[in-house]
Amino acid sequence: MFIESANEEGGYLATRSLLDSGCRRVGLITYRPDISSHGDRLRGYRKALEERGLPFDQDLVVQVSRVSMSSGFEAALQLMRAHPEIDGFFCTADLLAYGVLSCLSGPAGMAAGRRIRLVGFDDLSFSGTEAFSLSSVRQSVEEFGRLGAYAVVQMIEGKPLERKHYRLPVELVLRNTTR
């Protein structure tokens, strides 16, 4: 049994929403693309750019060594210094996006006088709070839990796991960071 989110679709929806809101230079902050979920999200990002006739620019992509707020902060700082024309960010995890938010509004002041849009991925519970109000791709965590629990029960009972691939739907939740 293999359970995953529709990660490529989520990356596509996130990037398309940024492009729909007027962004033309979208930076991507991602974890290791050899991890299937993050690689799939990168493919969705590329697909949305290609669909709009925009070139994929590897210079606008930063791969971080760990998923954390500090990694997101440093990656945003790096991208905005090297590419001041960036007008949007897609982060393949909300924790990275929280770091970008901190960079945009904090002492670095990188967004002073500019409107930079941002979308994360996971829709963690903090993302919907007033402090963050982060646009994010929501995963079907309840369904993940249900299927995972089913698999555990099957193993405990000594029953074979079905050879099935579950790709769970995702949903883009728009909040203040894209408005």
- Residue 66 DSSP class: S
* Range list of β-strands (E), the chain: 2-5, 26-30, 61-63, 88-91, 117-122, 135-139, 165-168, 170-173
Q: Is the pLDDT of residue 42 over 90?
A: yes
Q: What confidence category does residue 107 fall into, taking pLDDT thresholds of 50, 70 and 90?
A: low
- Residue 120 DSSP class: E
| pLDDT 10s digits, 150-167 | 999 999 999 988 888 999
CB-CB contact of 59 with 28 (8 Å): no
What CATH code would you report for 2-139+169-178?
Answer: 3.40.50.2300
Of 35, 5, 51, 17, residue with least CA distance to 119:
17
